[in-house]
Amino acid sequence: MSVYNCDRYILETLISIQNQTFTDYRLLIVDDGSVDRTGEIIRQVAETDNRIQYYRQDNAGIVAALNHGLQYCSAPFIARHDGDDISYPERFERELAYLQKNPDCVAVSSYVDLIDEQGKRIERALYTYPTEDADAFSIPAREPYIPQPMLMMRAKTFIEAGGYRYLPCCEDTDLYWRLKHLGHLGVIPTPLGSYRIHPNSTTSGSHKKLQSIAIWSQLSAISEQRRQAGHDDIRFSCEFMSILEREDTFNESLHHAERILSPSEKRWFLSSAAAKIMEMYKARFFLPNIEEISIIKQAFDADPNIKEHIIATAVILNSRGHIEESKKFIKHTTNYITYIKYKTRVLKNNITSSTTIKLNIEK
């Protein structure tokens, strides 16, 4: 478990692990330089439970914290946890049983419930994590994602895959691409825990976080493309990560990332990063900002095939009541032909049974 400034949630999280029906485990916690009461609370609980081992490091990010803790792991199975999530009592037992029953499975997770800051469940449509549909070459890449909050892995395979590499986000997806070469990724089709969404979580995030996800998720896909082609992999070093994350703008980050790519990879990367951020608008209720619109326009000029992503995004924005933002988005990212397709799509789209969509699209 890596933790950073989660004193509001950590006690509930620890209790959820202590209440597991499977009890033969060690809980290794690395505090990534918290400045609140997180460390104090963990130490107090650890005094009453010798399975809990607490370590602290200067703030260096989630990957550094995970790799710090992994050096102490000696068991044949490794489970992941964050300091603000909740595991249901049978999580460890059921995941371990799954791995033992399915020797071709190298990592397993489960469905998760979403909860807010107060622990209230967030209703959402069921997502089934179709890992077999993974495609590193699609735009954006279809990732072999299974929920990291409930992840359990075979330690031997995890080490063979190269462990976590230095990405500021999407380090889990980067790992899953590599694990897929060594075995099956499993998902237990029932929630075995709760994933908390709050202002400091990656899932809620800011535009800066969304941009970071768009960049690093697609770089990890290019890494997979290279492996499939038998080429040298991308070297995700701490230095490269630090330089890229220091860039002030989305455009600067993209251009810096492109320095390590071939010309064909650059073309794919721009289109795919633009498509990825549009995908996140739809999933996370964000509105495009000026810089992102500019990047999407650049991507469209270089690859008109992403127009379907643009139209779909504009239709979703419209359906959520952001009519002016929808019109502005498609006006500044595409051309008149796409305007017409957008207008037709909106008029045909049965968004709700009680809403009439009225559009005035200027030529």
Question: Crossing angle of helices 290-302/307-319, nearest 10°?
Answer: 150
User: Can you tell me the mean pLDDT for 150-158?
Assistant: 97
Total residues belonging to the chain: 363
Decide if pLDDT at 294 tops 60: yes
8 A C-beta contact, residue 106 and residue 36 = no
Range in 90-104, 168-182, 191-205 with the lowest mean pLDDT = 191-205
pLDDT for position 124: 79
Question: Crossing angle of helices 207-229/250-258, nearest 10°?
Answer: 10
pLDDT for position 200: 63
pLDDT for position 340: 73
pLDDT for position 351: 44
pLDDT tens-digit readout, 218-250:
999 999 999 999 999 999 999 999 999 899 899
Range in 51-60, 69-78, 312-321 with the lowest mean pLDDT = 312-321
pLDDT for position 286: 86
CA proximity to 275, closest of 248, 315, 250, 312: 312
Instruction: Give the CA radius of gyration of the chain.
Output: 22
Q: How far is it, in rounded angstroms, from Cα 62 to Cα 168?
A: 7
Residue 330's pLDDT band (cuts 50, 70, 90): confident
User: Can you tell me the mean pLDDT for 253-274?
Assistant: 96
Dihedral (Cα; 209, 211, 215, 218), 10-degree rounding: 90
